Amino acid sequence: MRLDKVSERVYANCDGETGGNVGIIVMDDAVAAVDAQYPVSGTDFRKSIPSVTGKPVTHLLLTHIHGDHVFGNQAFEDCEIVSHTRLKEKMEESLGTIWAPSNLEKMLEDVKKNRPERAWLFEGLRIVLPTKTFNDRFTLPGVEMIHLGGHTDCSVVVYVPNDRVLFAGDLMFAETFPWAGDPTADPDTWIEAYKTILAMDIETVVPGHGPLCDKKEFETQLVWFETVRKDMKKLIQDGASQEEAVNYDGYLDFYESEGDRRERSLRHWYRFWSQKE
């Protein structure tokens, strides 16, 4: 895997070929990796780190629970694996449900059937849990993990203040339609997270998916989130059904959606705001 220089201390891979974006932060004496993709690509990522720094990798920082970010944890088993408390709790819960061994096998079969081009990435999958958790904030020298929620309830950002770089995790799908349909996705919290990020001193953002970006991309996506919220809440107040609200053609133009991501995100938002009304 190629790691491109983002700033003095930060390198990242944003090609999107083998999972969510990943990167590293080179600290004074050690290296912290951010997210781990899938077992095969996570291993490839780990092996690529010595090409840019000889310092030891001591930490893996997880932005949230989705498989394209945490299924590669096993490549960092010798490190402190850090996440929000909810991420570890949900992983533990999932070990008894969707990620139980028999269900993992079924998931792999589904991937082979529905996304055969991705199946090789899952080879040897083992669920590896975080070893350290936090609720609001976790710091390493020159690095801050901050819980913001939004995309999932366990979503955090990783901030490198000296370099003015932010790893946004999946709070940012740069130049593409976001996945906003996780059962714990909270669009109101997501909007607040954007406002928090816009108030931070940031030059470059490593998004969870898509190319490197900056705050302008947050401004663009914030406008879309806020106008859709306004429109959809009005539709709900006026008694629109879920079908009507999802298929409403008055929403602001936005990026193309990959597959049914837009539809499933809007369905989740409809349920979310209907329950709040």
Binding site for Zn ion (CB under 5 A): 66, 170
> In terms of C-beta density within 10 A (0-12 exposed, 13-18 middle, 19 or more buried), how is residue 117 classed?
exposed
As measured in angstroms, the least distance from the Cβ of 181 to Zn ion is: 10
Q: Output the six-digit token pair for 99.
A: 């990620």
Q: Which is nearer to Zn ion, 59 or 66 (CB)?
A: 66
Shortest Cβ 246–Zn ion spacing (Å): 21
Q: How far is the CB of 20 from Zn ion (least distance, A)?
A: 7
If the CB atoms of residues 39 and 150 are measured against Zn ion, the closer one turns out to be 150
> DSSP readout, 7-72?
SSSEEEE---SSSS-EEEEE-SS-EEEE---SHHHHHHHHHHGGGT--SPEEEEE-S---HHHHTT
- Cα of 213 vs its chain's centroid, Å: 15
Task: Give the nearer residue to Zn ion in terms of CB position, either 87 or 228.
Answer: 87
The amino acid at 24: I
Please say which residue, 66 or 84, places its beta carbon nearer to Zn ion: 66
d(C-alpha 4, C-alpha 1), whole Å: 10
Residues 63 and 49 sit within 8 Å (Cβ to Cβ): no
Q: Quickly tell me which residue has 């390493």 as its tokens.
A: 140
**Least CB distance from residue 64 to Zn ion, whole Å?**
6
**Nearest approach, Cβ of residue 178 and Zn ion (Å):** 9
Residue 108 dihedral angles phi and psi, to the nearest 5°: -65, -40
